[in-house]
C-alpha cells in the first residue's frame, strides 16, 4: 500500500516537474506543451479579457472624470467671457450716453445745464413720469426741459427739495410747440405723446398747405416762451391728413431714449442772445 502511494506521489511530482519545464522551455516537451497550452490558453484568454475590461473601465472612469473637470472649467471660462462681454457692452453703452451728454454740453454753450440721474419711474403713472435726484435745492423748477443729450426727453412738472419729477414727451398729457428745422419751411405745430406703448410721437395742427415732409427734423418752437427754442425733438417718419382734411399730422420718431432714461441734463436757463448768435453763425448770416 505504501509502495502504491509512493508511486503515485512520484508520478505526480514528475508530471508537475515536466509541466514546469514545459512552461519554461516548451520546445523540449511537445506533447506536454500541447496539453499545457490546451489548459492554460483559455484561462489566459479569459484572464486577459477580464484585465482588458477592468482596464477599459478604469480608463473610462478617468476619461469621464477628466472630461467633467474640463467641462466644468470650460463652463466657468464661458461664464467669465459672457460676464466680461456683458460688462463691456454695458460700459460701451454708458460711454455712448456720456459722450452724447458731453457733446451736447459743448454744442450748447448758451444753456446752463444741471447733470441729473433718473432715480426710477413714478408708480401708478403708466411709466410716463420719472424721478430725478435733483430738486429745488439745485435750482430745479417746474417746466424746465430735460434732455438726454440726443434730444428732449421730458419736462419737469413737480419739484421737491432734493428730487423732482418729470413727464416724458411721450406722455399723453405732454404738449410742446415744435417747428420744422429746415430753413425753407415755416411749418409750426404741437407735439403730443401717444403713451408709453407707442414708439412714435405725434405732431398736430400743421396747416394743410404747410411744407412738412418725411425726414424733416423737428425742434422746439419757443412760441409762448415756456420752453427754450431750437431743442431737437425728433424726426418725421410719416405725414398724413387729419380726419377733416384741413390739417396735416406727422408721426415723429423721438430723438431721446424714452424707454429707460438714465443720465440726463436739466436745462436751468438759456442765454437767448447767445443762442441767436449761434443760430446766425450756423446759418452763415453776417454777424454784427
In this prediction, residues 141-149 reach a mean pLDDT of: 94
Is the residue at 275 inside a domain?
no
**CATH at 258:** 2.40.10.340
Residue 202 has pLDDT above 50, yes or no: yes
Cβ count within 10 A of residue 216: 21
In a domain, 214, yes or no: yes
pLDDT interval class at 197 (50, 70, 90): confident
Q: What is the pLDDT of residue 113?
A: 94
281 in a domain, yes or no?
A: no
Q: pLDDT of 178-188, one tens digit each?
A: 999 998 999 99
Tell me: do 85 and 156 sit in the same domain.
no
Whether residue 85 is predicted with pLDDT greater than 80 in this model: the reply is: no
pLDDT of 286 strictly over 50: no
% of the chain exceeding 70 in pLDDT: 77
From the list 102, 107, 149, 111, the residue with the least C-alpha distance to 274 is 111
Residue 287 belongs to a domain: no
pLDDT at position 26 over 50: no
- Least reliable range by pLDDT among 16-30, 37-51, 167-181: 16-30
Residues 125, 75 share a domain: no
Residue 76 pLDDT > 70? yes
Please say if the pLDDT value at position 264 is more than 80. yes
Q: Do both 228 and 261 map to the same domain?
A: yes
Q: What is the pLDDT of residue 242?
A: 84
Residue 44 resides in a domain: yes
Taking only the tens place, the pLDDT of each residue in 107-140 is 888 899 999 999 988 766 667 899 999 999 999 9
Q: What average pLDDT does range 144-166 have in this prediction?
A: 94
Give the count of alpha carbons within 13 A of 71, CB side only.
6
Would residue 277 count as lying in a domain?
Answer: no
Phi, psi of 150 (to 5 degrees): -90, -30
Q: What is the 3-state secondary structure (H, E, C) of 124-173?
A: CCCCCEEEECCCHHHCCCCCCEEECCCCEEEEEEEECCCCEEEEECCCCC
Q: Where on the phi/psi map is residue 215: left (φ > 0), alpha (ψ -120 to 50), or beta?
A: left
pLDDT value, residue 86: 64
Domain final residue pick, 63, 88, 107:
107
Q: Do 122 and 260 belong to one domain?
A: yes
Place of cell 492554460: 40
Predicted confidence at residue 53, as pLDDT, reads 81
State which residues form the domain around 165: 112-270
Higher pLDDT, 114 or 35: 114
Average pLDDT of span 45-50: 73
Say how far apart CA 61 and CA 55 lie, in whole Å. 10
Q: Are residues 102 and 154 located together in one domain of the fold?
A: no
Q: Average the pLDDT over each of 30-39, 47-56, 187-196, 242-251 and give the range with the smallest value.
A: 30-39
- Domain end: 83, 107, 131, which one? 107
Mean pLDDT over 37-65 rounds to 73
Q: Of 67, 85, 107, at which residue does a domain stop?
A: 107
Question: In this structure, are 96 and 152 located in the same domain?
Answer: no
Sign, Cα dihedral of 28, 31, 34, 38: negative
> What does the mean pLDDT of the chain come to?
81
Residue 265 forms part of a structural domain: yes
Based on the domain organization, do 74 and 127 belong to the same domain? no
**143 & 223 share domain:** yes
User: Has residue 252 got a pLDDT over 70?
Assistant: yes
Residues 76 and 160 grouped into a single domain: no
Residues 208-232, mean pLDDT to the nearest whole number: 92
Instruction: Flag whether 8 is in a domain.
Output: no
Task: Identify whether residues 93 and 38 lie together within a single domain.
Answer: yes
Total domain count for the chain? 2
Say yes or no: 199 and 89 in one domain: no
Cell of 24: 519554461
Question: Which pLDDT value is given to residue 35?
Answer: 57
Same domain? For 254 and 158 the reply is: yes
Asked whether residue 250 carries a pLDDT value surpassing 90, the answer given is yes
Cα→Cα distances 77→68, 71, 74, 84, Å: 14, 10, 5, 10
Span 131-154, average pLDDT:
95
Residue 18: what pLDDT?
59
Amino acid at each position: 500500500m505504501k509502495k502504491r502511494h509512493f508511486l503515485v506521489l512520484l508520478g505526480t511530482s514528475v508530471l508537475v516537474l515536466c509541466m514546469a519545464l514545459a512552461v519554461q522551455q516548451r520546445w523540449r516537451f511537445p506533447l506536454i506543451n500541447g496539453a499545457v497550452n490546451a489548459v492554460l490558453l483559455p484561462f489566459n484568454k479569459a484572464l486577459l479579457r477580464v484585465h482588458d475590461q477592468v482596464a477599459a473601465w478604469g480608463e473610462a472612469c478617468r476619461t469621464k472624470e477628466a472630461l467633467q473637470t474640463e467641462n466644468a472649467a470650460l463652463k466657468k471660462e464661458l461664464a467669465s467671457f459672457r460676464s466680461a462681454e456683458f460688462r463691456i457692452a454695458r460700459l460701451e453703452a454708458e460711454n455712448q450716453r456720456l459722450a452724447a451728454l458731453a457733446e451736447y454740453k459743448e454744442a450748447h454753450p448758451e444753456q446752463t445745464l444741471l447733470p441729473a440721474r433718473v432715480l426710477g419711474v413714478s408708480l401708478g403713472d403708466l411709466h410716463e413720469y420719472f424721478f430725478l435726484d435733483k430738486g429745488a435745492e439745485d435750482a430745479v423748477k417746474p417746466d424746465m426741459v430735460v434732455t438726454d443729450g440726443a434730444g428732449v426727453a421730458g419736462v419737469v412738472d413737480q419739484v421737491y427739495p432734493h428730487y423732482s419729477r418729470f413727464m416724458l414727451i411721450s406722455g399723453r398729457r405732454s404738449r410742446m410747440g415744435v417747428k420744422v428745422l429746415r430753413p425753407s419751411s415755416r411749418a409750426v405745430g404741437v407735439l403730443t405723446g401717444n403713451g408709453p406703448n407707442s414708439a412714435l410721437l405725434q405732431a398736430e395742427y400743421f396747416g394743410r398747405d404747410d411744407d412738412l415732409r418725411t425726414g424733416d427734423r423737428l425742434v422746439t418752437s419757443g412760441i409762448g416762451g415756456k420752453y427754450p427754442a431750437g431743442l431737437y425733438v425728433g424726426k418725421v417718419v410719416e405725414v398724413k391728413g387729419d380726419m377733416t382734411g384741413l390739417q396735416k399730422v406727422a408721426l415723429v420718431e423721438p430723438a431721446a431714449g424714452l424707454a429707460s432714461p438714465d443720465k440726463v441734463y436739466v436745462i436751468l436757463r438759456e442765454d437767448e442772445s447767445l443762442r441767436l448768435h449761434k443760430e446766425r453763425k450756423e446759418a452763415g448770416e453776417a454777424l454784427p
